[in-house]
Copies of this chain bind each other. A is one copy, B any other.
Amino acid sequence: MERKTKQKESIINILRQTTSHPDADWIYERVRQEIPNISLGTVYRNLKSLKESGQIQELNSMGEMSHFDGNAEPHYHFRCDCCGRIIDIEGPVDKTIEKRVARKTGFRVTRHSLEVGGLCLDCQRAQNQ
């Protein structure tokens, strides 16, 4: 099971080549340049299976539609409240957060995600004019 298809290959390549955390529709338009008759449903199905196999991440917060991240390594995100862009934050992920919560609550903690928000550089500039 888990067949290799040109559709899936193309989707993961596109995702690996961008750092822009695109949504399903953007990916669809991009793939269409290589496979013009691919359907949006196929894009969704492949995004789902790539996510389940841990090859990509799905981001989504505050009533926004899902965005996808070709970088499966854990890392934090910044979301600009003005332009909506999502930007990776460099720097190490603090695994001690999971330990602290586990100790305090007794829950088995296996993941955490941190999103910071505010204004990106471009939008700060735009605002000062």
Contact = CB atoms under 8 A, between A and B. Distances in A.
A81 B105 CA distance: 15
A120 B105 CA distance: 9
A6 interface: no
A117 B110 contact: yes
Nearest to A76: B101
A90 interface: yes
B89 A105 contact: yes
Contact of A111 (B107, B118, B121, B124): B118
Interface residues of A, number: 37
A126 interface: no
Interface stretch (A13-21, A25-33, A56-64): A56-64
A57 to B, nearest CB: 10
Interface of A: 58, 60-63, 66, 76, 78, 80-81, 87, 89-91, 97-98, 101-102, 104-121, 124
Given A89-B101, A98-B116, A113-B114, 10 more contacts: A78-B105, A78-B107, A87-B105, A87-B107, A89-B105, A107-B118, A108-B119, A109-B117, A110-B119, A112-B116
